[in-house]
Chain A
Amino acid sequence: MPQVSGLTDSRSSRSYWNFLASARVAWVARGLLGVALLNIAIGFYMALWYAPQEKTMGDAQRIFYFHVPSAWIGFLAFFVVFVASILFLWKRERKWDALALSAAEIGVVFITLVLLTGPLWAKKAWGAFWVWDARLTTSLILWMIYIGYLMLRSTAETERRARFAAVLAIVGFLDVPLIYISVQLWRTMHPQLLITESGGLEQRMTQTLMVCLLSFTWLFAYLLLQRVRLERLRDQLNILRETAG
């Protein structure tokens, strides 16, 4: 019986779990971590020394190179939760539930980074750590929704609870496009990211941002793989405990 009582695995799911547990995937995970660390080091160098200093905000603007990728990866993680939750409700297979839970945890970590680094930038730009601006508020709501999801999943696991959490994750994801368009819908102080040929971000700034985004994407892939493998281990442990008990 898997981690969530009441759920069973199909033959394709068992192949999927066995593939994840294989030595080849373990090597892929190590490779992803190595590439991520190397890429983060390059991104760090570019953010500090390659990208030009912004005129009005000075060095504090360099927070942007990891703040924006944190937000993008957080949204990507919640998109994975959204898709996996739909597939879980449809197929009722543990593998989708495990993927959703793993991605939700990682998404919360990255959105936590957004909420930690954003106020530091805001203090320099607006003179206050926090303002109840549309984008900031909707981002905080997103973080709270998925904290709620994780709290729900941290208690005794049943299929009913997993289904309820999946519904929460799907509804909660509606906040992501709202965050994206919040700067157009409401009057907001939050800057809008412009990457165009005619204006907006300077070329070296764009390059630095893309390198940092890529580095966090590698890290996300590594963390997701490892986190799903952990769910697989927990399922195995549950089976062993029940057999032993």
Chain B
Amino acid sequence: MEYLTIAYALIAVVLVGYTLSVWRRTQAAQRERDRLSPGKSKE
């Protein structure tokens, strides 16, 4: 059972971590774009 728990925990950490990483990078890029070009936001 412990191997199963470790495996599922690793899957969750990697997938949640990567999804959050993409989301954070997108937010940062959007903020930077809005800062450089206010009023030109398309997303």
- A interface residues (Cβ-Cβ under 8 A, vs B): 18, 21-23, 26, 44, 58-60, 62-63, 66-67, 70, 106, 109, 112-113, 116-117, 120-121, 123-124, 219, 223, 226-227, 229-230, 233-234, 236-237, 240-241, 244
Contacts and interface: CB of A to CB of B under 8 A. Distances in A.
B32 A237 contact: yes
5 contacts: A59-B1, A117-B10, A117-B11, A230-B22, A237-B32
Contacts of B19: 223
A120 B43 contact: no
A187 to B, nearest CB: 25
Given A226-B22, A233-B30, A26 B4 contact: no
From B11, B33, B37, name the one whose CB has the most chain A CB atoms within 10 angstroms: B11
A207 to B, nearest CB: 19
A226 B23 contact: yes
Contacts of B6: 120
B36 A233 contact: no
B26 A236 contact: no
Contacts of A230: 22, 25-26, 29
Contacts of A121: 3, 7
Contact of A66 (B1, B7, B25): B7
